[in-house]
Amino acid sequence: MITTRRRLADGREILYFDREPVARNAIDTRDLPTTTTHSQRRFDPLLGEWVVLASHRQTRTFLPPADLCPLCPSTPERATEIPESDYEIAVFENRFPSLSTDHIELPAAVAGSPLTELRDGYGRCEVVCFTSVHDSSFDRLDPQRARMVVDVWAHRTAELSELDGVGQVFCFENHGEEIGVTLAHPHGQIYAYPFVTPRVAKIAANVAEYRKAHGGNLFGDLLAAERAAGLRVVAANEEWTAFVPPFARWPYEVQLYPHRRVADLPDLDDAQRDAFAELYLDVLGRFAHRFDTPMPYIAAWNQAPTPKSGVPRDDWWLNLQLFSIRRAAGKLKYLAGSESGMNVFISDTTPETVAAELREVTAS
pLDDT at residue 63 in the model: 63
Q: Is a pLDDT exceeding 80 seen at residue 62?
A: no
In a domain, 317, yes or no: yes
Number of Cβ within 10 Å of residue 164's Cβ equals 8
**CB count in 10 Å sphere of residue 163:** 16
Total number of domains in the chain = 2
Residue 174 pLDDT > 90: yes
The per-residue pLDDT of the chain, averaged, comes to 94
Clarify whether residues 207 and 279 are in a common domain: yes
The whole-angstrom separation of Cα 290 and Cα 323 is 13
Residue 364 has pLDDT above 70, yes or no: no
Mean predicted confidence (pLDDT) in 102-109: 89
- Residues 192 and 199: their CA atoms lie apart, in Å, by 15
69 carries a ligand binding annotation: yes
Q: pLDDT tier at 34 (50, 70, 90 boundaries)?
A: confident
Contact between residue 319 and residue 219 where contact means Cβ atoms under 8 Å apart:
yes
Q: What is the CATH number of the domain that holds 234?
A: 3.30.428.10
Determine, yes or no, domain membership for 80: yes
Residue ranges making up the domain that contains 297: 199-360
Among 140, 164, 196, give the residue marking a domain's end. 196
> Would you say residue 212 lies in a domain?
yes
Is 187 a known active-site residue? yes
The alpha carbon dihedral of 246, 247, 251, 253 has a sign of negative
pLDDT of residue 189: 98
Give the confidence band of 117 by pLDDT, cuts at 50, 70, 90. very high
**Residue 270: inside a domain:** yes
Q: Tell me, yes or no, whether 91 and 223 share the same domain.
A: no
Under 8 Å between Cβ of 130 and 158: no
User: What would the pLDDT profile of 312-325 be if each residue is shown by its tens digit?
Assistant: 999 999 999 999 99
| pLDDT band for position 182 (cuts 50, 70, 90) | confident
At residue 320, the pLDDT reads: 98
End residue of a domain, out of 161, 196, 231: 196
Inside any domain, residue 60: yes
Q: What is the pLDDT of residues 120-154, one digit of tens each?
A: 999 999 999 999 999 999 999 999 999 999 999 99
Q: pLDDT digits over 66-100, tens only?
A: 788 999 999 999 999 999 999 999 999 999 899 99
Burial class (CB in 10 A: 0-12, 13-18, 19+), 334: exposed
Annotated active-site residue in 38, 103, 155, 187: 187
Q: Which one-letter DSSP state was computed for residue 309?
A: G
Mean pLDDT of 224-237: 98
Q: What is the pTM of this model?
A: 0.95
From 150, 168, 196, give the residue that closes a domain. Answer: 196
DSSP letter at 82 equals: B
The pLDDT, as a whole number, for residue 85 is 97
Annotated binding-site residue? 175: no
Q: Does 72 show up as a binding residue in the annotation?
A: yes
